[in-house]
């Protein structure tokens, strides 16, 4: 469905005299990043856990965001697809960076925030993320 929306936007923009190879390349790159995120989310399964060391997070970047912030998703490190999920998430971030480089949006000054990845915990046999909270 997401591809249909991208195609529709491309057709509408091309029909209005806008668009071109730059827009086509950008939309294609966004589509690749979105598809890779969907793949990684399918692979990042939440197998039952016994302890926090069996849990981890994969992160994604929205290729369309003006000021991208990582999105963290918990997953089981002991699942058979754990390594593939991590690889797909790494590829998604690379594809998102390529899409952002092709964007026609003017540069925006973003506030530099250093967001630490959340901790992964095992609660009721399910991997979950707990946001970082500084200790005084």
* pLDDT for the residue 136: 64
Count the domains in the chain.
1
Element holding 76 (H helix, E strand):
strand 71-76
Please report whether residue 135 resides in a domain. Answer: no
Instruction: State the residue range of the domain holding 123.
Output: 2-130
For residue 112, what pLDDT is reported?
Answer: 66
Residues 47/74, Cβ–Cβ less than 8 Å: no
CA dist 46 → 34, 78, 85, 87, 128 (Å): 21, 9, 11, 17, 9
- Comparing CA positions, the residue from 116, 133, 128 lying closest to residue 55 is 128
Backbone angles phi, psi at 122, to 5 degrees: -110, 115
- What is the structure's pLDDT at 51? 94
pLDDT at 33: 97
- pTM of the full predicted structure? 0.76
Mean pLDDT, the chain, rounded, equals: 82
Classified as helix, coil or strand, 57 is strand
Tell me whether residue 136 is in a domain: no
Q: In the chain, which stretches have pLDDT less than 50?
A: 1-20
């Amino acid at each position: 469905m997401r591809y249909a929306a991208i195609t529709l936007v491309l057709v509408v923009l091309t029909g209005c005299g806008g668009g071109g190879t730059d827009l086509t390349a950008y939309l294609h790159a966004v589509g690749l990043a979105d598809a890779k995120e969907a793949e990684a989310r399918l692979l990042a399964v939440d197998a039952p856990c016994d302890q926090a060391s069996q849990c981890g997070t994969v992160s994604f970047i929205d290729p369309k965001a003006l000021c991208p912030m990582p999105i963290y998703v918990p997953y089981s490190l002991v699942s058979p697809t754990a390594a593939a999920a991590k690889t797909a998430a790494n590829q998604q971030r690379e594809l998102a960076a390529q899409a952002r480089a092709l964007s026609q949006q003017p540069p925006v000054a973003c506030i530099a925030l250093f967001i630490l990845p959340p901790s992964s915990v095992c609660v009721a046999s399910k991997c979950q993320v707990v946001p970082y909270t500084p200790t005084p």
